[in-house]
């Protein structure tokens, strides 16, 4: 049989293809990825290519629309008059009868789609665990009375290669009516080519999933289009477990001290997630039933409580988790209001409280691939730290920072929401304040009435750093009470004043928004825990200086780097090497959602990180006390020495 030269642009891939094959078959043979979920049945209309007409000297071929089978009516249904004029064809229907130069337009190019994250530009190939396949089946007859499942399986095998494919019991129960209602034309969703998770009538390319980051205080959900890898809706709730304890230790106590403690905590987060999923999906006119997969990250306690695992042994040395490795569990076994067959992938956890969220951070930041020594700080109610590089490997730890950075335990603290002060500057002589609130890019002063509602985490850090810089707060964290500062207000019976950031008229809460001594104490406790943790990791790896500091966490990108270094949240480092990566844990969950092959990598990463348990390190207390000072009792801060020199003491 004769064959013809076929060339696909822009890749330039080429080869001789047998007479009579379709362009799609030619593309498959030559390794050119063209979109299309219908398996070449001319049903989805995604595989359009453009035929270039004429003699192409460079390629030494003549290409012509006449070298293809004529346009059938099935094909016409998908092509506009304009497209036909342009020379477009459905590659799965057009058959080859001569040499062809074809151009694959951007939208038809399959595979290898790349999404980029906000802060860091790590390219992620879109390759979700869920793949969809459209098939058309012959109905049963007396001559072919094969069962529905076996019929479906043989139809699928004509489209893709599958072995030992299973069908979830909840789908099996619906199989027969769905096939008949759909007139034997269905789209099948496969999970990792292992199990059928959904069967939908007709052609349905939509595929959505959700990545969830369960923080001790905040739970974030990223509703993601699995075709493009893009987030189509994001939403967050306060972790409802806060009602049972604000930090990990108090929740462990709650779980241990009551017979129904674990149940209450488990139901709280499951109910919360159901609410989050319901709200996020409804934003884009979807329902929870439409989600084909969920990925979840969280620190070890959040991970255990989500899975209903008793956490009592996490509360005392040697703090072993019940399980490290990643889990795949059906939504129905967890009580999530999703389609009951939906897979929930829970990322691996490392050790202690360095959980699946930190694996997410590592997936997103990859310190183990770099020569620079990185310190990664994931700031939340529980702080997780990782230190290392390619040569030294990675060592991690966790510390209880408390919820101060999330605006809790702060007199006028609030979540990062409209009305929250997120940045503060203080004039060194007059102590006049200007600030930015979320939702407004302009600096505001006491001349403005912007409707301040409170201060969020980054505002608190900024505010305390500025108060330290202008001498209002001393190195030990107390207010300089002898200062003649017009923004001091004194409450009866207290030894130290509060500092007014915004006067009542600037607020919408009819009171002054202040920073108090106890606010400063809360921040000191939080930052010294992080700093001491970092120091112990550096001792462990025998590292004196940091090449790079990566700030992760929901509000990581809002933090002013200089301010956070000035209050001593981490050891000195060149300021241009301090980077914020936003909610890297959430990004990790998204990466695992969008590319299932990286889950294996995440599992391995989790095993490679060595864990250091701070609470049993003798040095920890000493380091913790020294780190209570701004920026530190003893340690030098060469990278901000110029600022420190100017502080009036």
Binding site for its own copies (CB under 8 A): 140-142, 144-151, 167, 169-170, 172-173, 175-177, 180, 307-310, 312-313, 317-325, 327, 329, 332-334, 349, 351-352, 611, 613, 616
Nearest approach, Cβ of residue 261 and its own copies (Å) = 13
Nearest of 128, 102, 79, 78 to residue 591 by alpha carbon: 128
Nearest approach, Cβ of residue 616 and its own copies (Å) = 6
Which residue's CB is nearer to its own copies, number 81 or number 142? 142
Nearest of 374, 265, 269, 273 to residue 314 by alpha carbon: 265
Please name the residue that has the structure tokens 């810089």. 469
Nearest approach, Cβ of residue 250 and its own copies (Å) = 20
Which residue's CB is nearer to its own copies, number 384 or number 466? 384
Gap between the Cα atoms of 81 and 447, Å rounded: 62
Nearest approach, Cβ of residue 252 and its own copies (Å) = 13
Gap between the Cα atoms of 164 and 287, Å rounded: 31
Which residue's CB is nearer to its own copies, number 320 or number 638? 320
Gap between the Cα atoms of 80 and 65, Å rounded: 16
Q: What are phi and psi of 203, to 5 degrees?
A: -90, 125
Nearest approach, Cβ of residue 606 and its own copies (Å) = 10
Quick one: DSSP state of residue 311?
A: -
Q: How far is CA 484 from CA 223, 430, 481, 497, 518, in A?
A: 52, 10, 8, 11, 21
Identify the helix (H) or strand (E) that includes residue 474.
none
CA angle 557, 562, 563 (to 5 degrees): 80
Which residue's CB is nearer to its own copies, number 40 or number 352? 352
Nearest approach, Cβ of residue 270 and its own copies (Å) = 13
Nearest approach, Cβ of residue 306 and its own copies (Å) = 11
Which residue's CB is nearer to its own copies, number 144 or number 495? 144
Gap between the Cα atoms of 366 and 25, Å rounded: 39
| Burial class (CB within 10 angstroms; exposed 0-12, middle 13-18, buried 19+) of 112 | exposed
Nearest approach, Cβ of residue 169 and its own copies (Å) = 5
Identify the helix (H) or strand (E) that includes residue 388.
strand 382-389
Q: Which residues contact 189 (CB under 8 A, 6 or more apart)?
A: 130, 131, 132, 196, 197, 198, 199, 200, 207, 292
Gap between the Cα atoms of 431 and 374, Å rounded: 36
Which residue's CB is nearer to its own copies, number 144 or number 649? 144
Nearest approach, Cβ of residue 277 and its own copies (Å) = 19
Nearest of 207, 236, 222, 234 to residue 364 by alpha carbon: 222
Identify whether the C-beta of residue 438 lies closer than 8 Å to the C-beta of residue 417. Answer: yes
Which residue's CB is nearer to its own copies, number 99 or number 358? 358
Which residue's CB is nearer to its own copies, number 175 or number 598? 175
Nearest approach, Cβ of residue 146 and its own copies (Å) = 6
Gap between the Cα atoms of 374 and 143, Å rounded: 68
Which residue's CB is nearer to its own copies, number 272 or number 352? 352
> Coil, strand, or helix at residue 289?
helix
Which residue's CB is nearer to its own copies, number 15 or number 140? 140
Nearest approach, Cβ of residue 373 and its own copies (Å) = 25
Nearest of 567, 559, 558, 491 to residue 522 by alpha carbon: 567
Which residue's CB is nearer to its own copies, number 13 or number 264? 264
């Amino acid at each position: 049989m004769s064959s013809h030269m076929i060339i696909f642009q822009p890749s330039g891939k080429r080869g001789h293809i047998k007479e009579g094959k379709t362009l799609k078959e030619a593309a498959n043979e030559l390794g050119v990825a063209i979109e299309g979920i219908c398996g070449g049945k001319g049903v989805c209309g995604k595989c359009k290519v453009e035929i270039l007409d004429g003699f192409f000297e460079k390629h030494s071929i003549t290409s012509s629309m006449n070298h293809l089978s004529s346009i059938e009516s099935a094909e016409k249904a998908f092509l506009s008059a304009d497209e036909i004029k342009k020379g477009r064809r459905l590659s799965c229907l057009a058959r080859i009868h001569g040499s062809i130069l074809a151009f694959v337009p951007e939208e038809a190019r399959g595979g290898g789609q790349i999404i980029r994250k906000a802060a860091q530009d790590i390219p992620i190939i879109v390759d979700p665990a869920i793949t969809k396949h459209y098939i058309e089946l012959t109905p049963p007859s007396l001559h072919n009375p094969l069962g529905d499942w076996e019929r479906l399986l043989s139809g699928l095998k004509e489209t893709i290669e599958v072995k030992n494919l299973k069908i979830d019991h909840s789908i099996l129960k619906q199989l027969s009516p769905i096939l008949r209602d759909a007139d034997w034309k269905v789209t099948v969703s496969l999970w990792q080519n292992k199990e059928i998770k959904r069967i939908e009538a007709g052609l349905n390319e939509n595929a959505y999933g959700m990545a969830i980051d369960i923080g001790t205080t905040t739970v974030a959900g990223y509703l993601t289009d699995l075709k493009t890898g893009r987030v189509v809706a994001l939403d967050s709730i306060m972790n409802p477990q806060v009602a049972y304890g604000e930090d990990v230790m108090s929740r462990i106590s709650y779980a241990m001290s009551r017979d129904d403690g674990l149940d209450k905590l488990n139901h709280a987060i499951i109910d919360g997630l159901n609410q989050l999923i319901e709200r996020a999906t409804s934003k884009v006119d979807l329902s929870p039933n439409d989600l084909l997969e969920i990925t979840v990250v969280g620190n070890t306690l959040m991970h255990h409580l989500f899975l209903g695992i008793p956490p009592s042994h996490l509360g005392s040395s040697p703090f072993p988790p019940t399980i490290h490795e990643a889990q795949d569990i059906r939504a129905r076994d967890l009580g999530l209001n999703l389609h009951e067959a939906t897979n929930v992938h829970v990322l691996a956890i490392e050790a202690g409280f360095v959980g699946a969220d930190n694996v997410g951070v590592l997936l997103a930041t990859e310190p183990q691939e770099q020569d620079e020594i990185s310190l990664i700080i994931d700031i939340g109610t529980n702080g997780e730290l990782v230190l290392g590089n390619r040569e030294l490997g990675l060592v991690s730890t966790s510390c209880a920072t408390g919820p101060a950075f999330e605006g809790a335990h702060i007199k006028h603290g609030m979540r990062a929401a409209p009305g929250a002060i997120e940045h503060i500057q203080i004039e060194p002589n007059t102590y006049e304040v200007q600030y930015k609130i979320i939702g407004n890019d302009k600096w505001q002063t006491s001349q403005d009435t912007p409707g301040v509602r409170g201060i969020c985490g980054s505002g608190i850090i900024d505010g305390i750093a500025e108060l330290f810089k202008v001498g209002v707060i001393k190195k030990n964290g107390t207010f300089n009470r002898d200062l003649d500062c017009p923004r001091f207000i004194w409450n009866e019976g207290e030894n130290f004043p509060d500092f007014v950031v915004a006067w009542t008229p600037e607020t919408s809460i009819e009171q002054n928004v202040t920073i108090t001594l106890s606010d400063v104490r809360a921040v000191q406790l939080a930052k010294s825990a992080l700093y001491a943790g970092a120091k112990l990791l550096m001792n462990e790896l025998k590292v004196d200086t940091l090449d790079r500091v990566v700030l992760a966490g929901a509000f990581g990108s809002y933090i002013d780097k200089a301010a956070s270094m000035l209050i001593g949240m981490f050891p000195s480092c060149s300021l241009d090497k301090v980077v914020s990566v936003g909610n890297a844990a959430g990004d990790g969950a998204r990466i695992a959602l969008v590319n299932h092959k990286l889950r294996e990598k995440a599992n391995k990463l989790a095993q490679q990180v060595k864990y250091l348990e701070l609470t049993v390190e003798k040095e920890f207390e000493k380091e913790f006390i020294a780190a209570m000072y701004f920026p530190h009792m003893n340690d030098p801060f060469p990278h901000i020495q110029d600022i420190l020199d100017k502080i009036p003491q």
